[in-house]
Amino acid sequence: MEKIIQITNVTKHYRMGTTLVKALNGLSLDIYKNEYVALMGPSGSGKSTLMNILGCLDTPTSGTYWLNGQEVANMSDNELAEVRNKEIGFVFQTFNLLPRLTALGNVAIPLIYGGVGKKEREQRATNMLEAVGLGERNHHRPNELSGGQRQRVAIARALINRPSIILADEPTGNLDSKTSIEIMEMLNKIHRDGNTVIMVTHEEEMALYAHRIIRLKDGVVERDEANVH
């Protein structure tokens, strides 16, 4: 199997006032192409810090991070932004949609950063909204959509650049149980279609959708186990 992520002896330390917080303590982790991984751990375990590093939103204090053949641990902010836009699709608990833009406009944002022309942007965004079952909601703004519909828009936006990895941070945290199941089924389909999916969750029942569960504690991997379906 081909590794898509290779993290070796990564630390992340930062200061809060006079206190040095050691969020990650020499963590090592490999994730392979087309895996579906759940990251779990109590508050303070380092899972949010790890998610930020995996998503190239932050850089480690020390250690190495290879993402799809590129060493990203020491990249500049501009280089990281480019990697984020090409390689990673983000799905957040709070959806992170721009309120003034329509569903179509929100989905097309990564293509603007990628330099795609307007006509192609609109066509690709339209196709992606149809793929997530929102073809008739193209011109609705986020406040005109339900929570589940907003998360579908966010998933369409995450997929629009055909990224190597989908990073989902508590993707069902703001949804009722029925809608949560619908969103998890959608992530299942994304995985079946060939994407690598990494999900941070504190909900055991949501973690069971993943094929591998990695539990963090005190900034290191405490347990890493296959979840046999």
Q: For residue 126, which of 138, 115, 116 has the smallest C-alpha distance?
A: 138
Q: What is the predicted pLDDT for the residue at 124?
A: 95
Residues in contact with 9: Cβ distance below 8 Å, sequence separation at least 6, in sequence order: 26, 27, 28, 62, 63, 64
| HEC-encoded secondary structure of 83-106 | HHHHHEEEEECCCCCCCCCCHHHH
Q: For the residues of the chain, what is the DSSP string, one character each?
A: --EEEEEEEEEEEEEETTEEEEEEEEEEEEEETT-EEEEE--TTSSHHHHHHHHTTSS--SEEEEEETTEE-TT--HHHHHHHHHHHEEEEETT----TTS-HHHHHHHHHHHTT--HHHHHHHHHHHHHHTT-GGGTT--GGGS-HHHHHHHHHHHHHTT--SEEEEESTTTTS-HHHHHHHHHHHHHHHHTT-EEEEE-S-HHHHTTSSEEEEEETTEEEEEEE---
Q: Are 93 and 150 in contact (CB under 8 A)?
A: no
Q: What is the pTM of this model?
A: 0.93
Q: What is the predicted pLDDT for the residue at 115?
A: 87
For each of the domains in the chain, give its residue range(s) and CATH number, in order of start: 33-59+76-226 (3.40.50.300)
Rounded-to-10 torsion of CA 182, 135, 196, 204: -20
Q: What is the predicted pLDDT for the residue at 229?
A: 67
Alpha carbon 137 to chain centroid, angstroms? 24
Low-confidence ranges of the chain (pLDDT < 70): 229
